Amino acid sequence: MSGSTESQGGFLSRRGFFRWASSLAAALGAAPLASSAKTLSLSTASSDGEDYYAKLGVPTIINAAGTYTTLTAACMPPEVLAAVQKAALHPVRLHDLQQKAGEYIARRLKCEGAVVTSGASGAISLATAACLQYANNSNILDMPQAVEGMKNQVIVQRAHRYEYDRAMYLCGARVTEVVTLDDYRRACGAGNAVMTNFFNAAEDEDGIAASAQIGREEWLRVAHEYKIPCHLDAAADMPPISNLWKYTGMGFDLVAFSGGKGMRGPQNAGLLLGRKILTDLAHANNNPGDGIGRGMKVAKEQIVGMVAAVDWVLSHTEESMQGDYQKRVDLIANEVKGIRSVRTETVVPKIANHVPHLLIRFDPAVAGVTTGQIVDALRNGTPSIELNPNTGQKPNQGIPADANTLVVGVWMLQPGEDAIVGQRIRAALTKRA
Ligand SMILES: *Cc1c(COP(=O)(O)O)cnc(C)c1O
């Protein structure tokens, strides 16, 4: 541990030492090292740590929205949190941890290679860096500068263009946009493509492109005829749990998942899964080397947290996971039952956020309150509740809402919060809040 933050005058203060020693003891499940630690400590913090949200004046919220990044996405389950806490107590050799964590995750998720990244966006950057090196058969670490004049195109369908294209630009890659199968073949044949990117949620599960013309199978087949590696962005696409091996099993060379969404690992973690030759190159560009991944640092706590999150996910079945979310939906639906004009239904988006969401439809003329007023009442109450942002919106992302529909995302609720959300929505709909 560094003396500089905890010490005064260059040595570790007694207070700092005892706090460290007793937290170590607590983490190891032992009795406090010395009872004098308590009397010596001037801290008013409880042994499980100071509440810095309260200290900083940042209100906590009930997340009835979903895995939104701005709402800090998921909270880690107790098993994952405990693993993170234990990992925080000991330094290790970072390369060893990255290597072993990758091998363990690859084994559990049935692929050749895996990298714990800083998130799905970080995974897309490392995938691009790996594919740039692979295609150019060179060890370029000076991205994006050294990529100029080399093969640098990533082929993407127009309907799959999105904000995460920037995670590829960052490496010096550029996007070749295609619409038709002919466009795609021409782009593949041009000889300057290093990778293709497929935005998984842009296509529905039946393999019928929503607005794109080329489905997953055909996309893969054509790229592989030209020996171009295919990356798939499945960031928000677990559950179903089997998606964690489905797409690598189909033949996608690299697949990215967010760690802090449905997987409930640390928010600043993610996975890049796929062919070992490419995940090895991703490792080579990752921190703490000085490649493009240097600023996407993943600390030992997040690496262990991601591994523990994989174990946590795999300790569930599809049915146990979805059944638990459905129970929350049912509890909240039951709470608003009988309110005049209110109808409820459950929807499960096909890809991305594939979990039960509760729709509460009502008639503002009968209820005497509008969607906007309910959203405000929930947000401004205590504790503050955030509903799913599809509330009051047109159908979007598999959620058929409208102006007079509340959308409740239940999967990020903490134990007991479903009842609070139900009561507060009932109060808002009956104008008691
Ligand atoms: C959330 C998301 C990302 C980014 O994931 P992070 O883990 O936050 O970096 C990338 N792509 C898609 C489709 C996403 O939904």
CA distance 354 to 247: 16
Contact between residue 65 and residue 59 where contact means Cβ atoms under 8 Å apart: no
CATH of domain 323-429: 3.90.1150.10
| Angle at the Cα of 382 from the Cα atoms of 380 and 388, rounded to 5 degrees | 60
The verdict on the CB of residue 233 being under 6 Å from ligand 1 is yes
CA distance 108 to 248: 13
SS (H, E, C) 111-142: CCEEEEECCHHHHHHHHHHHHHHHHHCCCCCC
Ligand 1 closest atom vs CA 270: 7
CA distance 245 to 168: 23
How does DSSP assign 318-335, residue by residue?
HHHHHHHHHHHHHHHHHH
Contact between residue 413 and residue 264 where contact means Cβ atoms under 8 Å apart: no
Contact between residue 391 and residue 324 where contact means Cβ atoms under 8 Å apart: no
Give pLDDT, residue 431: 82
The verdict on the CB of residue 380 being under 6 Å from ligand 1 is no
Which CATH class, in words, describes the domain spanning 91-316?
alpha beta
Alpha helices in 198-347 (DSSP H): 216-225, 243-250, 276-285, 300-314, 318-335
Give pLDDT, residue 433: 54
Q: How many A from CA of 91 to the centre of ligand 1?
A: 29
Ligand 1 closest atom vs CA 73: 8
Cα separation values, 184 from 178, 203, 259, 341, Å: 6, 17, 31, 51
Percent of the chain past pLDDT 90, that is, above it, reads 81
- Residue pLDDT, tens place only, 22-47: 454 455 544 444 444 444 555 555 66
The tokens describing 337, both together, are: 């039952």
Rounded CA Rg of the chain: 24
Nearest CA to ligand 1 atom 11: 235
pTM: 0.88
Give, for ligand 1, the residue of 70, 116, 121 to mutate: max count of ligand atoms closer than 8 Å to Cβ: 121
- Residue pLDDT, tens place only, 351-362: 899 999 999 999
Q: How many A from CA of 237 to the centre of ligand 1?
A: 10
The verdict on the CB of residue 102 being under 6 Å from ligand 1 is no
91-316 and 323-429 have identical folds: no
Nearest CA to ligand 1 atom 8: 119
The tokens describing 322, both together, are: 């979805």
Q: How many A from CA of 257 to the centre of ligand 1?
A: 7
Q: Which parts of the chain sit beneath pLDDT 50? A: 1-18, 20-22, 24-25, 29-39, 207-208
Give pLDDT, residue 93: 97
Q: Do the strands 193-199 and 384-387 form a parallel or antiparallel pair, or are they unpaired? A: unpaired
Contact between residue 391 and residue 405 where contact means Cβ atoms under 8 Å apart: yes
The domains of the chain are located at 91-316, 323-429
The verdict on the CB of residue 353 being under 6 Å from ligand 1 is no
CA pseudo-torsion sign 283, 105, 216, 355: negative
Q: How many A from CA of 397 to the centre of ligand 1?
A: 15
Q: Is 192 helix (H, G, I), strand (E, B) or coil?
A: coil
Give pLDDT, residue 58: 96
Residue with tokens 């497929």: 198
